[in-house]
Amino acid sequence: MSSNLLRLVALALCVLPLGGCDMGFQKMEAGEYGVVFVQLPRWLGGGVRNAVVEPGEMEFILPWQRMYRVDTTYQLISWGSGRTAAEQAIDDSVETRTIDGNEVGLAITVQYHVDPTKVRHVVQKVGTEPERIKQLVAAVARADIRTHMNTLATRDFFSQDKRQNAVEQVRRAMQARLEPEGIIVDSVIYKDHRFERYQGPGQEPDRSYQEQIDRTQAVNQETLQEEKRRAAIVQAKGKEQEEIQGQVNRLVESAKGVRRQSKNRGDSYRVRKENEAAQVVTAGMNEVEGMRKRIEALSGPGGEALLRLEIANSLTESKPRFVLINSAAGGNGGIGISKIDQNELIRQSGIFAATYEGLKDEKAKPESAPVPPSSKPQ
C-alpha cells in the first residue's frame, strides 16, 4: 500500500510542470471567498476541502489543487425597461397574465447575494461559476413572478399597495426556495409594466391595449393637472378674499372704536352737564330760600330798619359824597337830597345793625328753617 502511495506521489511530482498554471499563492479580493478542490482520488484526500479561504487571505495552490472563487457581493438581474449598465439583462421582460386575461410584460429587478456561511455548499450543489448561480436565480425568479403577479387584475396594476403586496409575495417565495441553496434574495424591485400581446418570434407585439391605456392615462394626467390648477386658483382667490375680509374687519373694528369713543365722550358730557344742572338748581333753590327769608324779614316789624341798614352798608361800600333820603317833611311825599358826614353814617349803621340783630333773634324763635327741595334732576 505504501509503495503504491509513493508511486502516485512520484507521478504527481512528474506532472508538476504540466499543471503549474494555477500553482502558487492566490489572494482573495474583497467580497470573494475561496474553496479549494483537491483533484485526487477520495482515498488520497481528494475532493472539496472543508476550510474556506476568506477575503484578503492568501492560499498556496499545489498542481493537483484548484481554487474556486465565489463572489458574495450584491448582484442584480433585471428584466424589461429601465436597465442600467451594472444590471444583467436576462430577457426583455417577464411575460405573464392578469387574472382577468390580459397579457402583461413586467420590468422587474432582483437583487441577491451568496451567503458567506454556505460558500462550500454553493460550490458543491449549485455551481462553481457565477453564471450558473445567476441562471438558478433567474429561473426561480421567473417562475415566482408569474405565479404571484398573475393574481392581480388589470386595475390592480395601477394600485401601488396591491402591486407592492404581490411583489413582496414574490420575494418571500424566492427566499424560501433559494435560502437553503445558500443564496439570499435581498429585494425584488418593480419598475414598470406594459400590457402587450406576444405575436410570435420575429413579430412586433400587439400594443393596442397599452396604447389605449396610455391615452387614458394622458387624459387622466391632464385632468389631474387641471384640477391642481383649479385648486391653486381657488386657493389664491380664497387668500385674496381673506385679505379683503381682513380689511373689512379692520374697518368695522375701527368704526366700532370711534363709536365707543364718541359714546363715552357723550356720556361724560351728559353726566358733567347733569352735575352742573344739579349744582345750578341747588344754588338757585338756596338763592330763592335766601330771598324768601329776606322778604319775610323785610315784611316783619324791623323790616324798615333792616332796609335802612342795607342801604347804609351799600352807601358805605361805595363811599358816596351824597345820599338820597326820602323825606315827607313837606307833606308832598318828595325825596330830598342832603349831604351827611361819613362818621355820622357809620354811627347810624352801627345802630341799625344792633337793631337788625335783635329783630333777627326775635324772628328766629317761632319757626324753623324750611327743608330745601331735592337737587336731583327729573
Least confident of 205-214, 249-258, 368-377: 368-377
Which band of pLDDT confidence, cut at 50, 70 and 90, is reported for residue 35? confident
Average confidence (pLDDT) over 265-291: 89
Q: Determine the pLDDT at residue 143.
A: 93
Cell numbers representing residue 136 in the block: 438558478
Least confident of 149-153, 182-186, 219-223, 308-312: 308-312
Average confidence (pLDDT) over 145-171: 91
Strand pairing of 75-79 and 88-91?
parallel
Q: Determine the pLDDT at residue 121.
A: 85
Task: Compute the distance between CA of residue 249 and CA of residue 242 in angstroms, rounded to an integer.
Answer: 10
pLDDT, tens digit, 9 for 90 and up, residues 46-91: 666 777 777 767 666 767 767 788 888 899 999 886 545 444 444 4
Is 300 or 193 the better-scoring residue by pLDDT? 193
Q: How many C-beta atoms surround the C-beta of residue 280 within 10 A?
A: 11
CB 184 within 8 A of CB 112: yes
Please return the burial class of 281, using the count of CB atoms within 10 Å of its CB with bins 0-12, 13-18 and 19+.
middle
Residue in the block written with cell 481554487: 67
User: What mean pLDDT is reported for the chain?
Assistant: 76
Please return the burial class of 9, using the count of CB atoms within 10 Å of its CB with bins 0-12, 13-18 and 19+.
exposed
- Longest Cα separation, the chain: 202
* Whether residue 125 has pLDDT greater than 80: yes
Task: Compute the distance between CA of residue 372 and CA of residue 378 in angstroms, rounded to an integer.
Answer: 16
Rounded to the nearest 10°, the torsion over CA 265, 271, 275, 278 is 130
* Whether residue 324 has pLDDT greater than 80: no
CB 349 within 8 A of CB 307: no
Task: List the beta bridge partners of residue 70.
Answer: 33
Q: Is 367 left (phi over 0), alpha (psi -120 to 50) or beta?
A: beta
Rounded to the nearest 10°, the torsion over CA 268, 271, 277, 278 is -140
Least confident of 218-227, 277-286, 292-301: 292-301
Q: Determine the pLDDT at residue 19.
A: 45
Q: pTM higher than 0.75 for the full model?
A: no
CB 84 within 8 A of CB 128: no
Average confidence (pLDDT) over 235-249: 90
Task: Compute the distance between CA of residue 355 and CA of residue 218 in angstroms, rounded to an integer.
Answer: 125
Radius of gyration of the chain (CA): 64
Task: Compute the distance between CA of residue 139 and CA of residue 110 in angstroms, rounded to an integer.
Answer: 12
Average confidence (pLDDT) over 267-296: 87
CB 111 within 8 A of CB 73: no
